[in-house]
Amino acid sequence: MEKKREEKKIIIEQDDREPEGLQQFATLVDKEIIFERKRMKRADYRFGKFYIERKTVEDFCASIVDGRINKQIEDGKKLIEEGNFYMVFIIGRVDKKKHNINEHCVLGKICSIVHKHEIPLIMVDNEFQFLYCMKNLYKK
Amino acid sequence: MEKKREEKKIIIEQDDREPEGLQQFATLVDKEIIFERKRMKRADYRFGKFYIERKTVEDFCASIVDGRINKQIEDGKKLIEEGNFYMVFIIGRVDKKKHNINEHCVLGKICSIVHKHEIPLIMVDNEFQFLYCMKNLYKK
């Protein structure tokens, strides 16, 4: 019985700069999700060969302005070249962003990530949807 | 001068079952966008080797329930195998959907399209964002 319980656990590495509060949300999505916090060099979440970058819309806008997103795209492409899966999640709505960056710049960058760089990207409305999708990908 | 004007035009084939009103929105995004309405066998929009499937969140939910989405995914994968680009756009928010399908089914299908089937998918908030993205991809 103990072994069966252990198998159900969904253990995901989480960068220790990600919000700690996400563990509580994750437990509400599925009480078997456990984040192992550690300093990650690339991406924000990892399980097996799966690497996930999580960005709120505001983070995403800021990372376009300061250029961080370009480095993250390059890191992601390297991970894919090395045989891993890499995905970007954006949480929130572009049309409700507070950042003063032009909306067209944000949409242009999304098109570039998906089309030019061929990096899978999913946009969700809230953290619960993000956590549910991560669980869904874990179970595949 | 006439030739230069002609070169600026953004001519996109549009399936004649798509809403006609989108031409008016498109003109507001860029007055050079012209839809050529015709009956399309695969996808809803096409320019060159680029094929785009456009779905509102409500359409997307309905197509999961009646299974249409699976055929469209297969058509899309064939287009990609034949050397084309194929993309899905979803317009609207999953958390505001009126369709009574479970939200997790919708998110699961999105994950499956992006991860399992490796089909690029972009979610936008409204038709203007969709049309801007299509123009952006056209110009690339």
CATH number at residue B41: 3.40.50.10130
B102 touches chain A (CB under 8 A): no
Q: Find the mean pLDDT for residues A4-18.
A: 86
Asked, for residue A16, whether it belongs to a domain, the answer is: no
Write the pLDDT tens digit of every residue in B25-49: 999 999 999 999 999 999 999 999 9
User: In the structure, how many helices (H) and strands (E) does chain B have?
Assistant: 6, 6
Asked, for residue A78, whether it belongs to a domain, the answer is: yes
Asked if residue A64 has pLDDT above 90, the reply is yes
Secondary structure letter of residue B59 according to DSSP: H
Q: How far is CA A3 from the centre of its chain?
A: 30
Write the pLDDT tens digit of every residue in B98-129: 999 999 999 999 999 999 999 999 999 999 99
Q: What's the first-to-final CA gap in chain A, in angstroms? A: 23
Asked, for residue A23, whether it belongs to a domain, the answer is: no
B101 touches chain A (CB under 8 A): no
Mean pLDDT of chain B: 94
A108 CA: distance to closest CA in chain B (Å): 7
pLDDT given at position B3: 58
Contacts of A135 in chain B (CB under 8 A): none
Q: Find the helix or strand (DSSP H, E) in which A88 lies.
A: strand A85-91
Contacts of A28 in chain B (CB under 8 A): none
Count of domains forming chain A: 1
Contacts of B74 (CB under 8 A, 6+ apart): none
Asked, for residue A58, whether it belongs to a domain, the answer is: yes
B105 touches chain A (CB under 8 A): no
**CB–CB contact B107 A137 (8 Å):** no
Q: How much of chain A exceeds pLDDT 70, in percent?
A: 95
Q: What is the ipTM of this complex?
A: 0.93
CB atoms within 10 A of CB B123: 25
pLDDT given at position A131: 97
Local structure of A32: helix, strand or coil = coil
Write the pLDDT tens digit of every residue in B42-85: 999 999 999 999 999 999 999 999 999 999 999 999 999 999 99
Euclidean distance between CA atoms B132 and A108, whole angstroms? 9
**CB–CB contact A136 B95 (8 Å):** no
Tokens of A137: 């990908």
* Residues 118 through 137 of chain A touching chain B, CB cutoff 8 Å: 118, 120-126, 129, 132-133, 136-137
Contacts of A118 (CB under 8 A, 6+ apart): B120
**CB–CB contact B125 A93 (8 Å):** yes
B28 touches chain A (CB under 8 A): no
Minimum-distance CB partner of B95 among A87, A110, A125: A125
Write the pLDDT tens digit of every residue in A27-62: 999 999 999 999 999 999 999 999 999 999 999 999
B135 CA: distance to closest CA in chain A (Å): 10
pTM to 2 decimal places: 0.93
Asked, for residue A61, whether it belongs to a domain, the answer is: yes
Asked, for residue A92, whether it belongs to a domain, the answer is: yes
Euclidean distance between CA atoms A4 and B116, whole angstroms? 27
Residue ranges of E strands in chain B: 10-15, 33-38, 45-47, 50-56, 85-91, 121-124
Q: In the structure, what pLDDT confidence band is assigned to residue B8 with cuts at 50, 70 and 90? A: confident
Euclidean distance between CA atoms A88 and A44, whole angstroms? 10
A47 touches chain B (CB under 8 A): no
pLDDT given at position A130: 97
Euclidean distance between CA atoms A64 and B70, whole angstroms? 35
Q: In the structure, what pLDDT confidence band is assigned to residue A124 with cuts at 50, 70 and 90? A: very high
Q: Is-contact A94 A60, C-beta < 8 A?
A: no
**CB–CB contact B136 A103 (8 Å):** no
Asked, for residue A79, whether it belongs to a domain, the answer is: yes
Domain that holds residue B122: 2-139
B80 touches chain A (CB under 8 A): no
